[in-house]
Structure 1
Amino acid sequence: MAMEIAVVPDEKEKLMDNSLYLRGVAHLCGTGVARIPSKYVFPPSDRSAGDQGGAHSHQLGLPIVDLSDLHTPNRATVISLVGKACQEFGFFQVINHGIPKETIRDMTDACQRFFDLPFEERSRYMSADVRAPVRCGTSFNETKDKVFSWRDFLKLTCHPLPQMLPHWPSTPANLRDKVRPYAVHVRELFLELVAAILESLGLVSEEEVMKEFKDGTQLMAVNYYPPCPEPELTLGMPPHSDFGFLTLLHQDAVEGLQIQHEGSWLAVKPLEGSLVVNVGDHLEIVSNGKYRSILHRVVVNSRLPRMSVASIHSLAPSAVVRPAAPLIDAANPRRYIDTYFSDFVNYLSTREVKGKNFVQSRMVVGAQDEERA
């Protein structure tokens, strides 16, 4: 049995107060830290098995969906592939998605320049209020996390865009101009994917149903992971599922995303020009469990910074998320209770979110027992 090594705070760390950690890991790295403070050290059972940020981890070949066939006679094949990917993996990658590479490049460049700003400039947007239209912060949920994750973030509420845009950071000077086109394009892509997924479930994506998604929420989370001096001791993000209907993720060329598949943590190799799409908790509920949100995490490395941009989409805040009636019958009884967007916000505000504990809290009693079995 491997000997467990205790991490003892050094003298410099003992002098740190919690406010330093709340300034984020980019600021911490700027102090010249050579060892990670114990605040960032995960229990051995939760770490990335000492793989130094995924360099030696096993990779998972996610299904690749070519969206150029979505509006051709091959649409049925694409729909089938999307449905199979949602059911078997909960993740897939899309290519030929229609978002210009220049739009993605400009967006990521502007976001990187935000994290390059002095702390005093970035701190203007720091807030513990999860309802804030713009929020800069650190870790996963810094007000509740017992152990901090090696991650800084900028969260931008994107819908309705004309009302939200004035709240976005005014520095770097062109951030709004460079990020806005990506937000518009990725929302259009989300609506295309929603129609395909509803079709794969045998649900009619009629105008009334699609209007609920057109009026839905959109949150862009820009995640920044600086190089970490001891990546084997921490995580960029702990295992979690996403609360929304779908997440569309752009990741740079640095590996870090891992998903849990058949009991193992497997790395998702970045594919140039693609976006990663994953099933969220709300889609799990709407599909009555046919499609499941999947645990995923982020590992870090000691050599290169990494940045990803997650666009998290769902129904309108006032909508009720419930299993679709056609997917409930005697053989497939209802598995989830009615859920509101406010339920998740309240959950996030009052406790530490771990794994899939939110969506599991929305299961009916019988389904909870079945899940534990």
Structure 2
Amino acid sequence: MSPALVSEVQTICKEDELVESHEYHKGVKHLCGRGLKKLPRKYILPALERPLLSTKDGATNLKLPIIDIAQLQGPDRVHALESLSKACQEYGFFQLINHGIASESVLDMIQAARKFFELPFEERSKYMSKDQSAPVRYGTSFNQNKDRVFCWRDFIKLNCHPLSDVLPHWPSSPAELRQAVVNYSKETRSLYLMLAKAILESLGLVETEKDIDENGSCDLLKEFEDGSQLIVANFYPSCPEPDLTLGIPPHSDYGFLTLLLPDEEVKGLQIQHEGRWVTVEPVPNSFVVNVGDHLEIFSNGKYRSVLHRVLVNPLKSRMSIASLHTLPFNSMIRPSPKLVNDANPRRYKDTDFATFIQYMASHEHKNKNFLESRRLTQLGDA
């Protein structure tokens, strides 16, 4: 046997040992501490699923539609609502500017998340859990219990509602993490509710903002106000062979709306637009907002959740903060009756968060397969 073949066999054996000892389940950051020069097989995607980092694909940048909160709150609201509706229909994504969230809250959230990922593995591992409804969960990949190929990501997910119930379960280290997440979650929650009102109005479910009285008692908004919120900090270490893997594979978000704080220095978010993958061009001091599966169901398909994925970088690590919002965990998501008629028949089954958790626990999450499982195959099928 040649020396090269012996070396290859030894490498494969070592990788198998890593799998058997669950080293990959400890996360990408832990793995990178071993001084990787090549990508382990566990992270190498099949050839057809790899990102094509060429001028035909990865180098194509996209500027998303801009939605200005100042316009939504001003005399030009009608025009802003039209732009919002168009963005949700044609892109499923938009950039939100003039959002009003204090820069201190944003910086504190980013710095606290970075410090968490810098903690020793023994400290981070205290929050590992297979329970997808846990108030705090540290993990890796997308669904490490089901993924055949792992993606190049570590994450911490923090359930943020109600804060009084979940706060005691959050990490106490780094010391500033809890307060940073509390402040950030409150501000993003207020921003989401403002957007939810605009979404309802753009769908014609509320005639004008005046229909919502000063106490916010519009029936449609009551469930939104008590809805769930999940803050997810994503960490993508630099990768030795970024053309062989992804930070997150193609997927759609399960909820109503996601407010994403992207890394402004390291691009990586791609969306599928007009049949091809395009890289989102970051806009300073903005959020990237995207339609989730629940909003697609609620709007009976008028607004659509769109496939997106994350590239990794060969030289720099990357981090993003996502705030995922939807109705309460025990709510039933269904097409709004006002959006169902003979011309636009009901397109989706009722669903709830428990159904999503059950699906995620038993399936590898790929593309929009959860939403497809809720799609009606024939009219009248409930």
Question: Do these two structures clear the TM 0.5 threshold for a shared fold by scoring above it?
Answer: yes
Partner of 1:370: none
In structure 2, which of residues 19, 27, 32 is the aligned counterpart of residue 29 of structure 1?
A: 32
Amino acid corresponding to residue 258 of structure 2 in structure 1: T
Partner of 1:341: 353
SS at match of 2:157: strand
Q: TM-score, normalised by structure 2?
A: 0.91
User: Structure 2 CA distance, aligned partners of 1:51 and 1:273?
Assistant: 29
Deviates more, 1:142-151 or 1:61-70: 61-70
Q: Once the 2 structures are TM-superposed, how far is the Cα of residue 10 of structure 1 from its aligned partner? A: 4.0
- Note the residue ranges of structure 1 that are not aligned, 5 or more in a row: 1-6, 368-373
In structure 2, which of residues 289, 313, 322 is the aligned counterpart of residue 301 of structure 1?
A: 313
- Note the residue ranges of structure 2 that are not aligned, 5 or more in a row: 1-7, 213-217
SS at match of 1:343: helix
User: Structure 2 CA distance, aligned partners of 1:107 and 1:10?
Assistant: 40
8 Å Cα contact 2:253-2:293 kept in structure 1: yes
Partner of 2:368: 356
Partner of 1:45: 48
8 Å Cα contact 1:287-1:327 kept in structure 2: yes
Q: Once the 2 structures are TM-superposed, how far is the Cα of residue 101 of structure 1 from its aligned partner? A: 1.1
8 Å Cα contact 2:53-2:59 kept in structure 1: no
SS at match of 1:117: coil
Partner of 1:316: 328
User: Structure 1 CA distance, aligned partners of 2:17 and 2:354?
Assistant: 39
SS at match of 1:347: helix
Which runs of at least 4 in structure 1 moved beyond 2 Å after TM superposition?
A: 7-15
1:89 aligns with 2:91: yes
Q: How does 1:130-209 map to 2 (within 5 A)?
A: 130-204=132-206, 206=212, 207-209=218-220
In structure 2, which of residues 62, 65, 69 is the aligned counterpart of residue 63 of structure 1?
A: 65
Amino acid corresponding to residue 35 of structure 1 in structure 2: K
Amino acid corresponding to residue 264 of structure 1 in structure 2: R
Q: Quote the RMSD (CA, aligned, Å).
A: 1.8
- Compare CA radii of gyration and give the structure with the larger one: 2
1:167-192 deviation line (CA, Å, top 9, x unaligned): 11100011101121110000000000
User: Structure 2 CA distance, aligned partners of 1:33 and 1:236?
Assistant: 17
SS at match of 1:186: helix
User: Structure 2 CA distance, aligned partners of 1:185 and 1:162?
Assistant: 16
8 Å Cα contact 1:286-1:322 kept in structure 2: yes
Aligned length: 361
Q: Once the 2 structures are TM-superposed, how far is the Cα of residue 11 of structure 1 from its aligned partner? A: 4.9
Partner of 1:223: 234
User: Structure 1 CA distance, aligned partners of 2:197 and 2:232?
Assistant: 23
8 Å Cα contact 2:154-2:236 kept in structure 1: yes
Deviates more, 1:236-245 or 1:69-78: 69-78
1:247 aligns with 2:258: yes
Partner of 1:76: 78
In structure 1, which of residues 289, 293, 298 is the aligned counterpart of residue 301 of structure 2?
A: 289
Amino acid corresponding to residue 333 of structure 1 in structure 2: P
Partner of 1:371: none
User: Structure 1 CA distance, aligned partners of 2:193 and 2:287?
Assistant: 15
1:325-358 deviation line (CA, Å, top 9, x unaligned): 1111111000011111111011011111111011
User: Structure 2 CA distance, aligned partners of 1:252 and 1:109?
Assistant: 12
In structure 2, which of residues 272, 277, 282 is the aligned counterpart of residue 260 of structure 1?
A: 272
User: Structure 2 CA distance, aligned partners of 1:71 and 1:251?
Assistant: 24
Q: Once the 2 structures are TM-superposed, how far is the Cα of residue 165 of structure 1 from its aligned partner? A: 1.1
SS at match of 2:259: strand
8 Å Cα contact 1:51-1:232 kept in structure 2: no
8 Å Cα contact 1:50-1:233 kept in structure 2: no
1:269 aligns with 2:281: yes
Partner of 1:238: 249
Partner of 1:3: none
